[in-house]
Amino acid sequence: MKIRTIALYLSVITLFVFSAGCGSMPVRPHVLDQDLPKEQTTTVLLHHAIKVKEYNGLNIESWNPRRSSNSHMIRASFPGGESVLLFDLDLWIYMGNISYIFRRDDLVLRYTFDAGKEYTIGFHHRRDETATTSRRNRWIVSIEIWEGVTQTRPKDESKVIRSWDIGEF
């Protein structure tokens, strides 16, 4: 009886170890053109709130995760150069015990990505310092492109390459 109990505990522990390891595995990239050399492609990590619908007019909704997950980032590899991404933003912002839902449909991002480089497309929200006293708690939401692949906004402002204000709450 003791051997069965120990075997059961070991199998449960092994299951947890393997499932935890799978959660930290890197995201498999979606490659737009398999034949293109790596030097001519750009790798972009997209925040989970960004639901891409089109890349340069090509439907790529299959890249989006089937389920909503805060940790699921989309890694995409496509040709360097001018790119147009059509996407929806479905963002939940938590501030203490208050949460805000910020949604925008059919947003367009146009940017020239350098071949051979890596980028992250994410969001940032900041307090509007110019707001009047009646609108003191106004926040501005921006879409940003960061240099390199990172899951959090870089503390170094020089890593933020481009930023677009898309709304407020």
Tell me: the pLDDT tens digits for 127-148?
777 766 555 677 888 888 988 8
Task: Report the pLDDT value the prediction gives residue 20, as an integer from 0 to 100.
Answer: 44
| Between 74 and 68, the higher pLDDT residue | 74
CA atoms within 13 A on the CB side of 17: 6
What confidence category does residue 62 fall into, taking pLDDT thresholds of 50, 70 and 90? confident
Query: Is this prediction's pTM over 0.75?
Result: no
114 has a pLDDT exceeding 90: yes
Alpha helices in 31-153, H assignment, sequence order: none
Order across the sheet with 98-113: list the strands: 58-59, 50-55, 81-95, 98-113
| Between 140 and 28, the higher pLDDT residue | 140
Of 86, 111, 90, residue with least CA distance to 161:
111
Phi, psi torsion values for 102, nearest 5 degrees: -120, 115
Domain boundaries, given as residue ranges, for the chain? 28-168
Q: Which helix (H) or strand (E) holds 79?
A: strand 74-79
46 has a pLDDT exceeding 60: yes
9 has a pLDDT exceeding 60: no
What confidence category does residue 24 fall into, taking pLDDT thresholds of 50, 70 and 90? very low
Of 54, 31, 25, 57, residue with least CA distance to 44:
31
> What is the bridge-based pairing of β-strands 50-55 and 58-59?
antiparallel
